[in-house]
A and B are shown apart, each in its own frame.
Chain A
């Protein structure tokens, strides 16, 4: 768990540089709320509080949620999201290891659907047009005293949002006129995604805490889909592969969300299918759905499909012939030899 938190640090740096202190403040506030709420839930369930907190899973959930939420998200929304994620997304199902859905994504989706306005206050990235994110005290005010401080001076739509609702501009026109776009993806977002990619690859290759199947499945599928639908950047283009990979929460999800072993599939082949599913659904919702970024919905839908994946995808047991296994059998095999005596 600590390694996962450490791997988020480069991404956090990038987000803080481009979008201000909002993510840091949200992170600390979310971690605090998570610790409090998890202690409360564990105590109500009659278990040892320190033992349950020491596995760090609540902190990881809070961190991932805080990184997914906009920087100017009010404190009560963050707390509500964390509460929903921890209490209903995890503890209600039985604690660590028993939740069918990814708790961070559950919290995010609940907030997105219930409070769409609060969750669309994204910041303008630090960029060529001279935009600078607000200072520390300003951000504190925006987050904790939302009635007095308004983020309007600094807020802007995300790159994916602008891209989706660009109203007839071609991609190159959009890139030239709008400041939300950087070299190959959203301005600021491309660096954040690159940082999350670096952190994720570090976790994968250096520490091997998850296997490559789920991230490769997701990223590969998104790339493939965007390549198939690539039309050279017309006014109705669905986005280039680089655009999709380096905007929004793609890299964060690929290495930190879909690799969650609890809500993901059990076998390696199953995880690959899970990643592919997330990739397909992300592309479809981004391109044809109502929301600019669709990772959370895609992840939740694939979480629902995981039991089905686990039922049908079983790795070949060492020493057996490679053939398909039908789940429901009329005779149950045993370790004994079949007896030959007839009645």
Chain B
């Protein structure tokens, strides 16, 4: 309960939204002691072009969020560098520990008289550790390519590692080779289904029994043109369902209309029958009255 009470600010506030766009390097280049104070200042009206590590991207995002004019980055607060991390040259490091308290994100691992090293995954490249080092053993190097996706602290180095993904294969048009038809375990005709799905011919898809497709993916696996058949068939099944729903709805509407027509007709006939009966009664009464009056005279 205490944690909930002391949670950093209202999640929906403007300051939080601005802070979410900042790179969280906590470097202080903007003149404020961290990203959140800067966010607060921006919310109160300070210029949005002071963040050097964020660069053009952050500037545009802030301009979009706050509906302010897009200005160019203010280079007096620093130049946007490509992403870099600090690297301690271990042969020169004397273990003095002066870099440890300076790092805003606590990315340097070490203790006095022990070897220091920078946790590259946590380093935001703010350059603050360079100044205190008495032996100049810290270099700024280019950020390594393969970084973990999950970062406990900020969002800055959230590059997705793509080295483990399989290369995408280009999709080419169907060449009607028939391999898909040979492998389908449900004895369907995936080639035909593909052509009809492309042409959106719903009735032919139903005739070819598309709902019986078990989406096993064998047809897609053997296809030499790398067609995304399973995805296409799923979409086609959705079209089929929508079409069936529309038809059912139309049938119901037609039925309701016809019933209503019949009902109105019945009502009209009842009314006119009643009117006729009433008219007849009135006529008789009138006739009686006139004949009575004529008799009176």
Residues of chain A at the chain B interface (Cβ within 8 Å) = 55, 94-98, 211, 261-262, 266-268, 310, 314-320, 325, 327-329, 331-336, 339, 343
Contact = CB atoms under 8 A, between A and B. Distances in A.
A267 B176 CA distance: 12
Contacts of A331: 247
A319 B189 contact: no
19 contacts: A97-B176, A266-B181, A314-B207, A317-B186, A317-B209, A317-B212, A319-B212, A327-B207, A331-B247, A332-B206, A332-B240, A332-B243, A332-B247, A333-B206, A334-B240, A335-B211, A335-B237, A335-B241, A336-B244
Contacts of B174: 97
Interface stretch (B77-85, B153-161, B248-256, B283-291): B248-256
Contacts of A336: 241, 244-245
B97 interface: no
B145 interface: no
Contacts of B173: 94-95, 97-98
Contacts, number: 82
Interface in B66-103: none
Nearest to A313: B189
B247 A97 contact: no
Contacts of B187: 315-318
A189 to B, nearest CB: 31
Contacts of B269: none
A320 B208 CA distance: 12
B188 A317 contact: yes
Interface in B200-217: 202-203, 206-209, 211-212
B206 A343 contact: no
A157 B6 CA distance: 102
A332 B203 contact: yes
A47 to B, nearest CB: 10
A325 B209 CA distance: 10
B185 interface: yes
A332 B237 CA distance: 12
B173 to A, nearest CB: 6
Given A314-B189, A325-B207, A339 B248 contact: yes
B141 to A, nearest CB: 40
A1 B211 CA distance: 34
A334 B244 contact: yes
B192 A320 contact: no
A317 B210 CA distance: 10
B265 interface: no
Interface in B145-203: 173-178, 181-182, 185-189, 191-192, 202-203
B175 A96 contact: yes
Contact of B186 (A319, A328, A333, A339): A319
B100 to A, nearest CB: 57
A96 B189 CA distance: 19
Size class of B's contact patch? 35 or more
B175 to A, nearest CB: 3
Contacts of B256: 343
Contact of A343 (B186, B207, B247, B255): B255
A16 to B, nearest CB: 31
Contacts of A334: 211, 240-241, 243-245
Contacts of A261: 176-178
B169 to A, nearest CB: 13
Of all A-B residue pairs in the complex, the 7 with the closest CB atoms, nearest first, are A97-B175, A334-B244, A261-B178, A262-B176, A97-B176, A335-B211, A318-B186
B26 to A, nearest CB: 50
Nearest to A331: B247
B91 to A, nearest CB: 53
Contacts of B244: 332-334, 336
B209 A266 contact: no
Nearest to A335: B211
A329 B212 contact: no
Contacts of A314: 189, 207-209
Given A262-B176, A320-B209, A310 B186 contact: no
Nearest to A316: B187
Contacts of A339: 248
Interface in B259-284: none
Contacts of A317: 186-188, 209, 212
Given A211-B182, A262-B175, A343-B255, A315 B189 contact: yes
Interface string B210-244: 01100000000000010000000000010011011
A325 B206 CA distance: 11
A334 B202 CA distance: 11
A315 B182 CA distance: 12
Contacts of B245: 334, 336
Nearest to A341: B252
Contact of B181 (A55, A267, A328): A267
A327 B176 CA distance: 22
B165 to A, nearest CB: 23
Contacts of A343: 252, 255-256
A42 B160 CA distance: 38
Nearest to B203: A332
A262 B224 CA distance: 14
Given A98-B173, A266-B189, 10 more contacts: A314-B208, A315-B187, A315-B189, A316-B187, A319-B186, A320-B212, A331-B247, A335-B211, A336-B241, A343-B252
